[in-house]
Amino acid sequence: MANSGLQLLGYFLALGGWVGIIASTALPQWKQSSYAGDAIITAVGLYEGLWMSCASQSTGQVQCKLYDSLLALDGHIQSARALMVVAVLLGFVAMVLSVVGMKCTRVGDSNPIAKGRVAIAGGALFILAGLCTLTAVSWYATLVTQEFFNPSTPVNARWVPGLGSFASPPLGPLTFVHWIT
């Protein structure tokens, strides 16, 4: 098993990832208007997230509206919401288990084998939380990208993946696509 310093480093990195999961879950910028086509209106930027849609005006004023009904949402938004909430909850349980299982804590010192298993369980839950987040973000961004390239979508009504879908996996492969569009 690793030494205490390595365990603390891993724990704080995982804690930072969990904070990133919470931030990306709450951000309203999972997709944003693309400003493509002939009639470009840059005075208003439109954003949509898992929980609300927002309009940002050139004056700096931002107006957001929570979604009215859960049942009226598309299936991919409901699935992304569920996966992100599960990831946040798994991350919380992983934090608690990891603290209990670390060598530098005094909880469970009488049984080092059980303490090591608890630490491994915490790490596995962190990985599972990351996989839930990766699935939700990738699925959402893929559907937005497919809709963008769909020929039946009007040019002025297209969306691109927003910064909220890149908050969790920083500098992912789609970030480059976002920067050049």
> Residue 116 falls within a domain, yes or no?
yes
CATH number of the CATH domain containing 10: 1.20.140.150
Is residue 47 included in any domain, yes or no? no
Residue 92 lies in a domain: yes
pLDDT in tens, 92-118: 999 999 888 888 777 767 788 888 899
Residue 128 or 28, more confident: 128
pTM of the predicted protein model: 0.79
Number of domains comprising the chain: 1
pLDDT at res. 36: 62
pLDDT of residue 158: 75
What is the extent of the structural domain holding 107?
Answer: 4-28+74-165
Q: Which of 38 and 150 is assigned the larger pLDDT?
A: 150
Residue 14 lies in a domain: yes
Only one residue has tokens 């987040």, namely 133
pLDDT over threshold 60, residue 120: yes
Please report whether residue 161 resides in a domain: yes
pLDDT confidence of residue 168:
43
pLDDT tens sequence across 50-94? 899 888 887 888 888 888 887 788 888 899 999 999 999 999 999
What's the pLDDT score for residue 85?
96
174 contact partners, CB below 8 Å, separation of at least 6: 141, 145, 161, 165, 166
Q: Which value, in Å, is the radius of gyration of the alpha carbons in the chain?
A: 20
pLDDT in tens, 71-80: 788 888 899 9
- The answer to whether position 61 is within a domain reads no
Residue 43 inside a domain? The answer is: no
How far apart are the C-alpha atoms of 59 and 135, rounded to whole Å? 36
